[in-house]
Structure 1
Amino acid sequence: MADMRFLVFWLLLRFSVATTDVASCSCGFLDPRTGAIWTDAIVTYGNETEKLPVDSLVAEEYQHPYEKNWNARYRSGALPTNIGHNDSTAPGWNGSAWTLSLERPTKNHFVVGASIRSLRRDIRYGTFESALGPPKPGVGGSVLAMRLDYNESQTLSVNVMNADDPKDAWTSFMIYGDWRGARDKGVNFTDFGNSTYNYPNSPWGIVPYRFEWTDKNANFFIGDALARSIRSRDTPKGWPTTASTLYIRHSSIGDQYTSEGPPPNGSYTHVGLLRAFFNSSLMSEIDHASFDARCDTKQQCLVTDTSLLMFKERPIDYKKRWPAIFVASICIAISTVLLLHALIKRAPWKTKLPASANGSSNKDVTLCSAQSSWQDLSATPSVFYSEGYGLTDAAQTPGFWTPGVVTPGTMTPGRTGTPRTSIHPLVSSNITPAWSEADTLMGGGGYFTGPVSSSTSLTVTPGQTRPGSDSLKVPPPVGISIHCRNRNDQHDAITPINESKQAGRSVQSVDEKKLPMVATAEIDEDKQLPDVTILEISVSTPTGTAAKSPISAPKQRVDYLAGLVALASIFVTLIHFCLTFLPATEIPYTHTHYKSELWALKIVTPYLLTFSWIGPFFTSSTRFLVMTYLKSGNLKGVAEKTVGRTPRLIIPCAAIAALEYFCMQVGAISWLEYLPSVTWSTWPYTSNYVTFGHFISEIIELMYIIPNAVPQITFNYCIGVLWTIPVQLQNSWTSLLAVIIIREIKTPWKRMCYYAFCIGMHWYAMSWGSFFWVGLLIADLDISYKWKTWLYARPWVYYPLLAFVAILALGSPSIDLVGQWTTMNFNTLEYGVHPHQRTGHLIRDSVDYGYPPYYIPRLSALTFSIGFHLLVELSPVVQKFFSNRLLMWLFPHILTLYLIHGLIFWSLGAVICVKLAAHGVPYWANMLVVAVCTYTVIFGCLPFLTPVIETLGKSITMNIWRDASERPAPRRKTLYPFDPDMFKDGTKNDTEVVPKSDDVEKNEIKVASKAL
């Protein structure tokens, strides 16, 4: 019965259109299903005419230089000659129909099809029907679409897709903003005949489709069955309201999530009819009023509906945007003024130090420099700390300053009073800030990079006081001079300062334990240059006596490890560049622009563009995490890393992620969606967060999610990049706990067996912890056992070991090289021997057996990291290479490089690549220009962005550690130093000052002593 009603309605509709001239329907058309009246129409049937009606439809001719689709690997085109007409034997249709043919793809990834476009571009709301027949099954995937489109920013479409596999064929009903591959927004061909749609014929025949578009909703139908309904208030990207153009197209762009394809030998589709009833956006309110007045009592074509509402134009209220523009302008102006004020006040282009407490200006000095010296170090600690100078670990000396505990600005030049905390002033003006940006990938510890030479005399102005029970007070006549000498000098003993008296004051006896030892975090004493220097502190009394104590100078960082990490960071950016613009160099079986890409994949990629370069980040990170505790056994260093590690990494990541989301919203990354059709790479894509709560959730995932689950932000912010952050964080806790256990295992062979057991178990469990355990082992061998000294003294052991680690470093990538030339893949075989988490069997016996995902650790990457790290540790030649100036300059910026390179590639790089391709520039020249421009911008913005990221990461982390480790200052009443009673009684004029406290009295004594 249902089939009979459908057939009768279809014949009635056919008869009405065939016998009624559309031009005679001056009062419009009444939709019998909704009661809506439409003023204009386009009606044509393929079994009544062989040619398209020239007064309403036109055959298009075009060739797109790019496509707007995240997964488009081909570009579409159209020719009028691909539109034909023949008899159709497809079920669901009688007689002839139009055919839209699709040619076979070209080597340049062009697929030429057919397109029919309406001459009317003023279509605004209406009901649109068409009888569409998909391509034959098994010929390759393509799309036959009926769509309304305005500038690709407002679309409604019905897409009939046969797919490469016939069982995957489906029809989608989409609106702008929907992901084209969402199967829940369509119907599979196998479901057409179920009770929901009850379509009587084969979906492979010619099927009637319809969609209705109003200002409130859009409904999509298969025959008369509702397939999808969308309300305007439920669309996050805005409801289509702009006048559009109607298209019917047969195309294929190789989207693996929709139609797949393209057909290797071409294909064709059928279009039986096209009926569109719509309103025109060209009609004004006066025209609509005239239409309603003229047609109030007249019949519309087909059916009548007296309840038609007056057409009312929906005005676009731009006034609502002015408050937001006003607020944004004010915020931008205030931010600009504040930034300029801070820049002018800071004056980074000036090299002079701030004025000292006594009004003199400190000259530029280099610690232990032969050309200059400090004659006056009376500047308060805040002078140095406020400019970012400071050490990161507290010496194990009682009363010495603590890292991160100093409150910036607690003392300023010329200000009296007891500060909460103090730092030692013996800090060079050109020493880098403590918490280096490289903490992200190298463990979170700070260290100095200032040059150290061998002859400087520094005199400390009398009156310096370090707070604490063991503070050293030097009376005004006493001078402290610091000299540099080589460690090889003979006089290394510490001579205690004897008590002396002058002016009725005594100089307290100072022993070795109470002398300030300048110790820095994360610095291995054995990683010095051959000419290591020692600082001597000489406390001279008026009688000429002096006591000398060697103080270790701020150590130079482990330059060759810093260079290793810097080089690895460059290679990682090159990997992401290739995945974005040259996918054939990274992904096998991908279409290539040139054959040279295949040679690069087989020869260059296994060594220079392999993901094994991630390994040195992890192994080096552990060394700098555990070094302090391995040396001293003081849990304070572990506590500092535990407290500061997470905010040190997450805060900069959240800030840069927010910046990229902002760039998405303002359209700076809009050209990335066009990029895949030019580069043939579907790897990069972005997706904005739905709500701010989703953004917060993604940031929390970075801190706590299991690494193998991959945080969701990697699919929005920067695919393939930020997933290493939770790996770093979670294995940081593993490393910090492991070093505590390791230090308690005193027997060497038991210690090594424990290392072997843990590394093996982590590898078998496919955990990145194996890399961190390796880093801990190398650090332990160096710090606890001094193994390099032992090896250097035994060449017969040293050179074979060096050769072995060199073979390990070069041989591990060579295993991947073999996989590029043969059918055997070692990574796949190794992945198969691990346990399958869902079944407990081996992975090779499960359905998940195959090449491992990128976030799964591989044995070849582990052995590469071991070999390369050991080669750098043991070979002086390799160490010299990695200590070059270029890598040393880059090292402090690796966190910035890590966070922003994807943003530059996907914004500026995408625009340049797409625009050059549209102008027909050869792809090799295109890539050369893109690489030069993007890397110039990346390296050029590092000096500007690094201080911002340092402030977000280092400064906030130091404040967190200060609050977690320092006892807060005692609270003082608001009226201090006045007595609250003087304000309680208005008639009493009592101005008696509160008695001086001990700290105020000490401050006055100190000021008086300085005046003397």
Structure 2
Amino acid sequence: MIMEMVLLLLSLLFRAVAAATKDVSSCSCGFLDSRTGKVWTDAIITYGNETDELPPDALVTEDYQHPYEQNWNARYRAGAASRNVGSNDSSSPGWTGNAWTLSIDRPTKHHAVVGASIRSLRTDIQYGTFESYLGPPKAGVGGSVLEMRLQYNDSQTLAVSVMNADAPTDAWTSFLVYGEWRGSRDKGLNFTDFGNSSYNYQPSPWGLVPYRMDWTDYQADFFIGDAKTRSVHSGETGKPWPVTPSTLYMRHFSIGDMYTSEGPPPNGSYAHVGMVRAFFNSSLMSASDHVSYDARCHQSGPTCRVQDTTLRGASPFAPAAAVPYKEKGIDYTKRWPAIFICAVCIAASTVLLLHALIKRAPWKKTPDITSSANDSTLSVTPSSYFSEHHGMADAAQTPGTGTPGAITPAGARTPRPRSEFASGWSTPQLESVPMPAPYWRNSLEITPINDQSSFVGLSIDEKKGRFVEQIVDKTKQPDVTVKEVPPLAAAPPPIAPKKARVDYLAGLVALASVLVTLIHFCLTFLPATEIPYTHAHYESENWALKIVSPYLLTFSWIGPFFTSSTRFLVMSYLKSGNLKGVAEKTVGRTPRLIIPCAAIAALEYFCMQVGAITWLEYLASVTWSTWPYTSNYVTFGHFISEVIELMYIIPNAVPQITFNYCIGVLWTIPVQLQNSWTSLLAVIIIREIKTPWKRMAYYAFCIVMHWYAMSWGSFFWAGLLIADLDISYKWKTWLYARKHVYYPFIIFCILLAIGSPSIDLVGQWKTWNFNTLEYGVHIHQASGHRIRDSPAYGYPPYYLPRLTALTFSIGFHLLVELSPLVQKFFSNRLLMWLFPHILTLYLIHGLVFWSLGSVICVHLSAHGVPYWANMLVVATCCYTVIFGCLPILTPVIETLGKSITMNIWRDASQKPPVRRKTLFPFDAGLLADGERNLASRKRRKAAEAGDVERDGGEIEK
């Protein structure tokens, strides 16, 4: 009986309110907001406690399923269904009566989460004030987002997002415009802060809370009740300001973003919307409409107030207001001149490059010197002639009948007729004899005399800086001796050049580099094969994690990079003891690595700016991996700072460029550089320890201490030890001669190489993890206690060394050093071809995965291609492009790295030549003498023409 009375009273109350309401269609002169002084022409106002149905002339429900999400951390794809929009009695604080409910279903196995969405029919909303009562789902049901959003497209948005999160203490509300990271807590408000002195909102934030946002062409303000929580000016965002006609949305969704809402709700959830009050302008008002409005409402002014709570309904609108706005297409007619000029320049550049390529013909081998039993002459090409007989090209010879073996003395030269130079070199074989200095060094001009037997030449008197005339008698000049050479016997087989590298170590590094790219491919596209407890597309990914990954897709493969690089650093000093080799590595190591890294990083930043990596932001919702991430540098100064940081930062802190350029890749560069100095200093000390047992004890001490300090230096010390055993102690010869020691030691190396990753394999099947236990043994730097007794205890970060990686690297490196069979495998042609390209492969594989790979993966997924087929296509295309780019990019990287480094070392180690004046080889007085001679010549001509004033003032006829 009491319940019936309450319902009757509520019904009478609602009728009384309805009778007292005023329809917004009567407000022909708009709505005045007394808080800001703004006037808005149109409105949409509806209350959920007055009607169970949405006003069909203003708001509609949506049905959709997104094929992907534009979010770096979205592991689920949002959808909406009309059936998930309803109405019920809300018991939440801050509201009385019914409210609209927006529900979310359970997530599907394909990571689709179907929620609810309400949008305005009108799409012409341009600026205004928008208010709604929003109530988040209950605490603890799983994270989701209840959002009031103004949006034209992904680049034109303003939003108030209420997020309950997985843990109630993390619940918060964000106030964002386009271009701001959704996880920025400083651009929002935690539920625990609603009642503080700044906002003073006393009702529970878990109830229905009044949120408002005011939008103008230059500013956006956000409110809780009447308390302003955030104000954003158009010049603060660094992105285009939202000015496009938009649509108003009320949505409840979850995409599993760990930095915003978390979730999704495993059993579904629902949220409440109490009312919607929107006052705005229409983008369809033309200039004549504005004139008509001003003429009609200038005297009376706005007839309604935004603060009037009796207003209901929606303003009438033309059908065009429900048609989505379309941006005008780009007018290319004005760009044709620029396009034409660009096309001409590109064509000219292409032709010039092709011309240079064809002329050089790098695919053709240079002809070798050949011999024939029936031919007494030796044919050589000009290029081989110039290279093998350096200096002889400057001396032109005239064959004569001089005494065999005679030598032309230096200081004189018989000029050669110009026609001989034009016709090419003569064919008789010249005996290798010292040739005279080129005549042009002493003579600037040769003038024949009438009898053609002598020449008048101008020579430089080096003692006086001036020219002198010299008569050269041609008959007295000896000729170049020419004698026949007997036929050459068959040329001996060419001697193969000594290889500067150790092939099997080069092959080991090449294989490790390929496996590291596969690891990054899996982290990008197949995260379940690398990261435990990650959702998998297929069960086979979980089996790969438990069986294949510990051996082939483990970060332990980074270890051979470090152990083998030490050998190339210290080999020369261990052999010779010459500090010049250490000095060369010290000077050249940093630019050898940093210059190519900076160049390729700049290339990737360029790709970001032109939009080549746009689709990477959509990739997480398809691959379910949040590992790949890029962010452009703020200013060029930040880029320079990050490059310097890459050079000098301590290895246990990740360089910031890692999170911008290529996450999970470039952190190894500072590890290489820092421990290069360790290796170069260590080898100097080691070579001075002559007693073997002391030397080995010092190695053991350093390796253990570096391991305990969680330093990658243990890998470099191990590499130094292996190099020292080979170079200094010749241990291979000793082992090969003692089979009873060699074979047990090889078995030990195999067990070490296979057993180390097998420990990780066991950890995939058991609840305990060896890497976690080992990490807990080390010291926590902040507290001084063991890590297992600190809050940091857990699985170690990827940039910290692990004991299993160290033992694997030592065992595998020893196996490669000592087993001829393994050496033969790692010396195969494919790995030898790949080895010169490993730095290029290291630097560009992430760029290809995140540009080409992301585009292919997202679009194939949107077209419903099975994920296994998607991965086959992505892998094939990406690796084809990567290996196709290596021959093109490696010469560039080598030029930037190796060639520049050689020049740096040359300038640092060699004394520069004596500075020569600009006029060399001429004396500086040449110009002054020339001026005096010119003046004297003018005086002589004047004397011949007439009177000339002589010194002393006398006049002579």
- Indicate the SS of the match to 1:44: strand
Q: Which residue of 2 aligns with 1:426?
A: none
Q: Which residue of 2 aligns with 1:142?
A: 144
Q: Which residue of 2 aligns with 1:860?
A: 804
**1:48-87 CA distances to partner (integer Å, 9 max, x unpaired)?**
2211111111100001111111111111111111111122
Q: Which residue of 1 aligns with 2:46?
A: 44
Do the aligned partners of residues 615 and 36 (structure 1) sit closer, same or farther apart at CA in structure 2, a change above 3 Å counting?
same
* Structure 2 counterpart of 1:977, from 921, 928, 942: 921
How big is the shift at 1:830? 0.7
How big is the shift at 1:321? 13
How big is the shift at 1:298? 2.1
Distance in 2 separating the partners of 1:843 and 1:991: 92
Of all paired residues, the percent bearing the same amino acid is 74
Matched residue type, 1:264: P
Do the aligned partners of residues 329 and 574 (structure 1) sit closer, same or farther apart at CA in structure 2, a change above 3 Å counting?
farther
- Indicate the SS of the match to 1:988: helix
* Structure 2 counterpart of 1:235, from 218, 237, 251: 237
Q: Which residue of 2 aligns with 1:345?
A: 356
Conserved in 1, the CA contact under 8 Å of 2:369 and 2:380?
Answer: no
Do the aligned partners of residues 960 and 318 (structure 1) sit closer, same or farther apart at CA in structure 2, a change above 3 Å counting?
farther
Question: Is 1:694 aligned to 2:705, yes or no?
Answer: no
Distance in 2 separating the partners of 1:176 and 1:185: 12
Q: How does 1:789-868 map to 2 (within 5 A)?
A: 789-868=733-812
* Structure 2 counterpart of 1:86, from 75, 85, 88: 88
Matched residue type, 1:776: L
Do the aligned partners of residues 16 and 198 (structure 1) sit closer, same or farther apart at CA in structure 2, a change above 3 Å counting?
farther
Matched residue type, 2:810: I
Conserved in 1, the CA contact under 8 Å of 2:151 and 2:248?
Answer: yes
Question: Is 1:54 aligned to 2:56, yes or no?
Answer: yes
- Indicate the SS of the match to 1:863: helix
Q: Which residue of 1 aligns with 2:699?
A: 755
Q: How does 1:955-994 map to 2 (within 5 A)?
A: 955-984=899-928, 988-989=932-933
Conserved in 2, the CA contact under 8 Å of 1:586 and 1:609?
Answer: yes
Which stretches of structure 1, 4 residues or longer, exceed 6 Å deviation after superposition? Answer: 14-18, 316-333, 373-384
**1:821-852 CA distances to partner (integer Å, 9 max, x unpaired)?**
11121101111111111111111111101100
- Indicate the SS of the match to 1:670: coil
* Structure 2 counterpart of 1:765, from 699, 709, 715: 709
Question: Is 1:197 aligned to 2:199, yes or no?
Answer: yes
How big is the shift at 1:150? 1.7
How big is the shift at 1:20? 2.3
How big is the shift at 1:966? 2.1
- Indicate the SS of the match to 1:591: coil
Q: How does 1:734-749 map to 2 (within 5 A)?
A: 734-749=678-693
Distance in 2 separating the partners of 1:216 and 1:991: 77
Segment of structure 1 superposing worse, 95-104 or 327-336: 327-336
Do the aligned partners of residues 903 and 415 (structure 1) sit closer, same or farther apart at CA in structure 2, a change above 3 Å counting?
farther
* Structure 1 counterpart of 2:73, from 60, 71, 76: 71
How big is the shift at 1:752? 0.9
Distance in 2 separating the partners of 1:846 and 1:365: 74
Distance in 2 separating the partners of 1:644 and 1:697: 21
* Structure 1 counterpart of 2:120, from 110, 118, 121: 118
Do the aligned partners of residues 462 and 769 (structure 1) sit closer, same or farther apart at CA in structure 2, a change above 3 Å counting?
farther
Q: How does 1:245-644 map to 2 (within 5 A)?
A: 245-303=247-305, 337=348, 341-347=352-358, 350-351=361-362, 363-364=367-368, 414=393, 553-555=497-499, 557-644=501-588
Do the aligned partners of residues 239 and 326 (structure 1) sit closer, same or farther apart at CA in structure 2, a change above 3 Å counting?
farther
Do the aligned partners of residues 279 and 597 (structure 1) sit closer, same or farther apart at CA in structure 2, a change above 3 Å counting?
same
Do the aligned partners of residues 349 and 888 (structure 1) sit closer, same or farther apart at CA in structure 2, a change above 3 Å counting?
farther
**1:255-302 CA distances to partner (integer Å, 9 max, x unpaired)?**
111111111111111111111111122223333233223221123143
Distance in 2 separating the partners of 1:51 and 1:463: 107
How big is the shift at 1:760? 0.9
Q: Which residue of 2 aligns with 1:1009?
A: none
**Structure 2 unaligned runs (5+)?**
1-12, 308-326, 371-376, 397-429, 437-476, 479-484, 489-493, 937-957
**1:964-1003 CA distances to partner (integer Å, 9 max, x unpaired)?**
12222222222333343444488522699xxxxxxxxxxx
Conserved in 2, the CA contact under 8 Å of 1:29 and 1:40?
Answer: yes
Conserved in 2, the CA contact under 8 Å of 1:127 and 1:277?
Answer: yes
How big is the shift at 1:794? 0.6
Q: Which residue of 2 aligns with 1:173?
A: 175
Segment of structure 1 superposing worse, 103-112 or 799-808: 103-112
How big is the shift at 1:334? 5.8
- Indicate the SS of the match to 2:132: strand
Do the aligned partners of residues 224 and 969 (structure 1) sit closer, same or farther apart at CA in structure 2, a change above 3 Å counting?
same
How big is the shift at 1:776? 0.7
- Indicate the SS of the match to 2:239: coil
**1:865-906 CA distances to partner (integer Å, 9 max, x unpaired)?**
000000001001111111111111111111111111111111
Conserved in 1, the CA contact under 8 Å of 2:27 and 2:304?
Answer: no
Matched residue type, 1:557: R
How big is the shift at 1:749? 1.2
Matched residue type, 1:622: T
Conserved in 1, the CA contact under 8 Å of 2:367 and 2:381?
Answer: no
Distance in 1 separating the partners of 2:285 and 2:662: 46
- Indicate the SS of the match to 2:128: strand
**Structure 1 unaligned runs (5+)?**
1-10, 306-315, 355-361, 367-372, 385-410, 418-458, 466-502, 505-540, 545-549, 993-1012
CA RMSD, Structure 1 to Structure 2 (Å): 3.5
Between Structure 1 and Structure 2, how many residues are aligned? 814
How big is the shift at 1:737? 1.1
Q: Which residue of 2 aligns with 1:669?
A: 613
Do the aligned partners of residues 628 and 333 (structure 1) sit closer, same or farther apart at CA in structure 2, a change above 3 Å counting?
farther
* Structure 1 counterpart of 2:190, from 169, 172, 188: 188
Question: Is 1:27 aligned to 2:29, yes or no?
Answer: yes
Distance in 2 separating the partners of 1:948 and 1:131: 60
- Indicate the SS of the match to 1:776: helix
Distance in 2 separating the partners of 1:464 and 1:46: 106
Q: Which residue of 1 aligns with 2:400?
A: none
How big is the shift at 1:557? 2.6
Distance in 2 separating the partners of 1:793 and 1:603: 38
Distance in 2 separating the partners of 1:714 and 1:757: 33
- Indicate the SS of the match to 2:235: helix
Distance in 2 separating the partners of 1:106 and 1:630: 62
Matched residue type, 1:832: G
Q: Which residue of 2 aligns with 1:731?
A: 675
Q: TM-score with structure 1 length normalisation?
A: 0.76
Matched residue type, 2:730: K
- Indicate the SS of the match to 1:989: helix
Distance in 2 separating the partners of 1:102 and 1:785: 71
Matched residue type, 1:345: A
Do the aligned partners of residues 574 and 991 (structure 1) sit closer, same or farther apart at CA in structure 2, a change above 3 Å counting?
farther
Distance in 2 separating the partners of 1:329 and 1:758: 66
**1:733-776 CA distances to partner (integer Å, 9 max, x unpaired)?**
11111111111111111111111111111111100011111111
**1:651-691 CA distances to partner (integer Å, 9 max, x unpaired)?**
11111111111111111111111111111111111111111
Do the aligned partners of residues 957 and 19 (structure 1) sit closer, same or farther apart at CA in structure 2, a change above 3 Å counting?
same
How big is the shift at 1:947? 1.4
Matched residue type, 2:666: L
Conserved in 2, the CA contact under 8 Å of 1:383 and 1:413?
Answer: no
- Indicate the SS of the match to 2:917: coil
- Indicate the SS of the match to 1:589: coil
**1:114-141 CA distances to partner (integer Å, 9 max, x unpaired)?**
0001111111111111110110111111
Distance in 1 separating the partners of 2:864 and 2:770: 41
**1:374-399 CA distances to partner (integer Å, 9 max, x unpaired)?**
98799699969xxxxxxxxxxxxxxx
Q: TM-score with structure 2 length normalisation?
A: 0.80
Distance in 2 separating the partners of 1:291 and 1:732: 76
How big is the shift at 1:341? 3.0
Distance in 1 separating the partners of 2:381 and 2:650: 50
